[in-house]
Amino acid sequence: MRDEETGTWWQQVSGKAIHGPLKGHQLKQIFHDEISFAIWKREAPQGRVLKPVEQIAASNQYEAADWEARVGRMRTVAGTDVDTRLAPRTLVLGIEVGGKSVAYPLPALQKQSPIMDMVGPAPIMIVLGDDKRSARAFERVVDGRRLEFFQKTTGQTDLQLVDAETGSTWNFEGKAIAGPLAGRQLKKVFVLEDYWFDWRIYHPDTTIYEIGPR
């Protein structure tokens, strides 16, 4: 990305200035989700949606609806195919905590959700939404107690989780909605959805989560 004020170039993923007058500066990261519109609308019914600018839309300056498929067919950055543990354009959910990073291949998460894991010093849970596409991660600790989560499979239309320690029920927002811990909120962990080749550029020492036995 290039800013208009100084002409400095910035890395898209890291927000770090890499060339120009502001080289070395770092933009502050803002926590955000990458979730489907259906889930967002359910959680934020009064939320507002960014409307396309009519002049830009009329001149076809916006990307076409199939842009993701077209990008998926493009060549990757030269030299990023040296790590063959995953295909370069495998979608991963990347998490970094305490200087340690883990890539969770989306296909693995679609087979085994939620996933309990440790990333650096933090016990985390990464879970797929009921659309089988949106993902979130949380620190699975309440009052210093580590929790183990399981997904409810019957009796509800939206995703719900149960912790083994107290039997409390939790929603996809990481909030306990029933049981002894009702009203408690798990700490959110930032998740970056990215192609494997790109995630590895920024996290050369990353590990890859391997699905366990079912």
Total domains present in the chain: 1
Residue 41 lies in a domain: no
Backbone φ and ψ of 126, nearest 5°: -115, 130
Spans of the chain, pLDDT less than 50 = 214
Residue 182 lies in a domain: yes
Residue 68 lies in a domain: no
pLDDT at 40: 93
pLDDT at 85: 86
Residue 170 lies in a domain: yes
In the chain, the amino acid numbered 135 is A
Give the CATH number, domain containing residue 181.
Answer: 2.102.10
pLDDT at 211: 79
In this prediction the pTM is 0.85
Residue 121 lies in a domain: yes
Longest dimension (CA), the chain: 58
Residue 158 lies in a domain: yes
pLDDT at 163: 97
What is the distance between the alpha carbons of residues 136 and 126, in angstroms, rounded to a whole number? 6
Burial of 25 (0-12, 13-18, 19+ CB in 10 A): middle
pLDDT at 214: 46
Do residues 90 and 199 lie in contact, with contact meaning Cβ atoms separated by under 8 Å? no
Could you tell me the residue range of the domain that residue 150 belongs to? 79-208
Place of tokens 């259906």: 38
pLDDT at 79: 64
Residue 65 lies in a domain: no
Do residues 78 and 181 lie in contact, with contact meaning Cβ atoms separated by under 8 Å? no
